[in-house]
Chains A and B, each alone.
Chain A
Amino acid sequence: MNMKLAKNIFVIEDDSYTQTSLTEVLADQGYLVVGAKDGEEALALLTDTDDESLPGVILLDLMMPVMDGYAFRSAQLDDRRLAKIPTFLLSAADGLVEKCSELKMDGIVKKPVDLEYLLNLILKYCT
């Protein structure tokens, strides 16, 4: 797991179709995407990453097996190194605004994702 993460986008999402599509589409738009299928895998990847290679933005799904978005976010906030990475809620769930504030997140990306909106958001945080 000694993977080097560039200033890129980290997608934590269990739906492999969404994961694949985000990777492909953002690559077309000039970004590098690294993915994890649940919170546990994501934490393991991030913990093994050098400070300079940490992602510029994290997109976090909520409903995932093994370790869900809530648990991941809680662990992330406990880790000073990871806590500062801008993190966005990637979800189709209800009441995202409340969840976003409850989880102290930086914003919301609603499913189905509007690509233009997502690109603007990434642009703002990844430069």
Chain B
Amino acid sequence: MNSKIDFSPIDGGQPILKWQFDLFVQASQKIVASTGFESVLRVLAETALEVMRGTEANWGVFDHRCENFMEFYKPKLGWQKSSQIFPLKTSMIAPNNIPNIVRIFEFDSNSLGRSIFGFIPLINGRTEPVAFLQVYSNENLDLPLKQTLPVLQGLSDLGSKAIQPYIFEMDSNHSPCFCFQGSNQRDDSVGSNANQLRLLADRVQARKVIESQQKWLETILDTLKVPVFFLEPGTGHILFSNRVATKLGPGVVPRDIPNSKWSSDSRLTDENDQTLTLDQIPSIRAARGENLNGVPFVWHTPAMRYSFLVDAEFLQGKHGHPSTILMVYRDVTKLKEAEDKLHAAIIAHDEFLTIASHQLKTPLTPIKLQTDNLKLLIRAGKSDKITPEKISKVVDLCNDRIIHLTSIIEDILDVSRITRGHFRVNLGSCDLAEIIHGVVDGRRESASRANCKMTLDISSPVVGNFDRQRIEQALGNIMTNAIKYSPGNNIKVTLTRNHEIATISVEDNGVGIPKEDLFRIFYRFERVNGDQRIAGLGLGLFVARSIVEAHRGKIWVHSELKRGSTFFIELPLLPKLVRRIQ
């Protein structure tokens, strides 16, 4: 039940009667099912009036919208004489935020020779409070209207400076019901009923100001992109969460339940993936009054994980506001992701440098061995062993290895150019068939060393606009991979033409590529199979892809593990626009 009514008397007032209590219970139960003040009011009024008609009691139900209420109920209740209904603008008591209190006050009107008692139970409706007022004299609780009228009139006179009673007639046998409206005229005499009421009205006014400030603050907080919460100290109930906070994560942040009881599919951990115990959860620590400064935690939801830093501070109650805990989440998910990516990039670069240095040292080894050998033979006086044939062989080998070294260095430089967007292709008319023959011939030596048999399926020239050197490079890289990953197997290169599109395929029956790696291999520093045992920089396919894409072509691969791979390059014969590779 949202609204609770406390019927115990305060300030020495009289306890509410049983039937009145029952009435309010009945009424307030209906409040729960209601959606707004007006409907609450109607429910209450209807209930109250039904009871009133069946008893000797007198009831009035009013609020600052009393006018509407009157209009609404007038015909129902048979109040035809509008002159009997004073125009109400604001209610004396009504809009108040003092929940759960029955305020009892006494009109001690000596001038009239009798006392009038009134009690005003204040009920917090869902959106606004409801005020009831019943007034009766100490002489005759069941005061007929005719007798009461002068009393009321006197009361009205008394209160005219501060309060304005509104009286309406139910019927001649029943006491009237009425309510009071705060007046602008002031009676400052201390202790006067009018003053009491005015003070109450002032409080109501002050509360309205606070409410308006609160609304303003909430509007501002709602515009913030940072999740902000106000927690109730101790329980951790969320009293307020701004828009971002409410929509945080996969669902809506629960309100009205202690944060220790939040249940969800998600899991809270620290940065090292250790599940947080209840005592470690930042919002629970905050609810206990602990000031938090950038406490990290990770929220694992079925959809994704969020990284937060939490700040929290206990705000003492001031200016009519209760003590609150201000808690702010700093969403560092993207920052964390960027950090992780950066970390991965640094690791990839480190690994690249290690592999690169290894790759550069490998072709240097035979060169160094051969030159050292010549030096040692000369030093040992065995120059006769250095025959012209031997020199020629050594020179050939060194030359071959230097060309290989140069191509590795070129690959590294190309990657740098591609990354910086400085990679261009220079188109010229050339025949793809001729290019393929050249590339295959250039790899016969390494293919034979790897016991690979190379076959070509090219029927006719395919002439188009290409950067000859770059296409040779792209195809060369694919061929090198094919030889590297399928030693002792066959490699078949095919060239076909379909209208204005040429397709080259390089098929091997080597080790193949796992499915999960198929998309990865065309990216920088990624190596087929991620296999550290097979030498390679992980740049060849990235460079090949960049070259093909610069020709407005496509590159892809079909592969089956342990069965082999087929790489396809599709090139338009006349690429219309060659863009810079980003």
Q: Which residues of A contact B (CB under 8 A)?
A: 14-18, 20-22, 24-25, 28-29, 63-65, 68, 92-94, 111-116, 119
Contact = CB atoms under 8 A, between A and B. Distances in A.
Contacts of A94: 354, 357-358
Contacts of B354: 93-94
B33 interface: no
Interface string B348-377: 000000100110011111111110110011
Nearest to A109: B365
Contacts of A17: 363, 365-366, 397, 400-401
A20 B363 CA distance: 12
B364 A111 contact: yes
Given A112-B368, A113-B369, A29 B376 contact: yes
B535 interface: yes
B512 to A, nearest CB: 14
Contact of B366 (A21, A63, A65): A21
Nearest to A115: B372
Contacts of B401: 17
Interface residues of B, number: 29
Contacts of A25: 369-370, 372-373
A63 B376 contact: no
A20 B354 CA distance: 25
B487 interface: yes
In this complex, the member of B363, B369, B397, B487 whose beta carbon has the largest number of chain A beta carbons within 10 angstroms is: B369
- Where chain B touches its partner, the secondary structure class is helix
Contacts of B361: 92, 111-112
Interface string B461-493: 000000000000000000000000001000000
A82 to B, nearest CB: 21
A65 B534 CA distance: 6
Nearest to A91: B358
Interface of B: 354, 357-358, 361-370, 372-373, 376-377, 382, 385, 397, 400-401, 449, 487, 531-535
A86 B378 CA distance: 30
Contacts of A28: 373, 377, 382, 385
B534 A113 contact: no
B65 to A, nearest CB: 81
Contact of B365 (A68, A93, A112, A116): A112
A115 B373 contact: yes
B535 A18 contact: no
Contacts of A111: 361-362, 364-365
Given A25-B372, A28-B382, A114-B372, 5 more contacts: A17-B363, A18-B366, A68-B533, A113-B368, A115-B372
Contacts of B367: 112
A64 B450 CA distance: 13
Contacts of B377: 28
A29 B375 CA distance: 12
Nearest to A13: B365
A64 B535 CA distance: 8
Given A17-B363, A111-B364, A92 B358 contact: yes
Contact of A21 (B358, B369, B382, B449): B369
A69 B162 CA distance: 101
Contacts of B372: 25, 113-116
27 contacts: A15-B365, A15-B366, A15-B535, A17-B365, A17-B366, A17-B401, A18-B362, A18-B366, A20-B366, A21-B366, A21-B369, A21-B370, A22-B369, A25-B373, A29-B376, A63-B358, A64-B533, A65-B487, A65-B534, A68-B533, A93-B358, A111-B361, A111-B364, A112-B365, A113-B372, A116-B372, A116-B376
In this complex, the member of B357, B361, B372, B401 whose beta carbon has the largest number of chain A beta carbons within 10 angstroms is: B372
Nearest to B448: A16
Contacts of A114: 368, 372
A27 to B, nearest CB: 10
Contacts of B373: 24-25, 28-29, 115
A9 B126 CA distance: 93
A73 B367 CA distance: 27
Nearest to B487: A65
A39 to B, nearest CB: 10
Contacts of A22: 369
Contacts of A116: 372, 376
A28 to B, nearest CB: 6
